[in-house]
């Protein structure tokens, strides 16, 4: 199953190791969502998890997703810190002038 980054972020925030509870939670979130575009995306994700991911290997899928997203957040934080300590814009401007 392939997931977009937005879908991964939703599962990271609202998923749990239980397949049934995750699908139920996503359906409840769909019912509570007001924005039609977000509602369509949430329902699509709920259906995708329900039909494409088997209950027998969902827990492994979930833990792999958590590890992947933790690494993504760590790298994003590192990049933000690196950008804050890098003064590359001024260097480029001085070279161009």
Nearest-Å Rg of the Cα atoms of the chain is: 19
Nearest to 59 by CA among 15, 18, 10, 25: 18
Q: How far apart, in whole angstroms, are the C-alpha atoms of residue 12 and residue 23?
A: 13
Q: What does the domain layout of the chain look like in residue ranges? A: 3-85
pLDDT digits (tens, 9 = 90+) for 33-78: 999 999 999 999 999 999 988 888 899 999 999 999 999 999 999 9
pLDDT digits (tens, 9 = 90+) for 6-42: 999 999 999 999 999 999 999 999 999 999 999 999 9
**Is 19 in contact with 58 (CB distance < 8 Å)?**
yes
pLDDT band at 84 (very low <50, low <70, confident <90, very high): confident
Tokens representing 86?
Answer: 């890098």
Q: How far apart, in whole angstroms, are the C-alpha atoms of residue 18 and residue 58?
A: 8
Q: For the CA atoms of 62, 64, 70, 71, what is the dihedral angle to 10 degrees?
A: -160
């Amino acid at each position: 199953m392939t997931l977009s980054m937005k879908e991964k972020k939703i599962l990271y925030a609202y998923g749990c190791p239980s397949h049934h509870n995750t699908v139920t939670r996503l359906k409840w979130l769909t019912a509570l969502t007001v924005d039609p575009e977000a509602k369509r995306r949430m329902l699509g994700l709920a259906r995708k998890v329900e039909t494409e991911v088997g209950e027998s290997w969902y827990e492994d899928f979930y833990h792999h997703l958590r590890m992947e997203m933790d690494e993504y957040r760590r790298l994003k934080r590192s990049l933000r810190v690196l950008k804050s300590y890098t003064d590359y814009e001024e260097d480029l401007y001085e070279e161009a002038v």
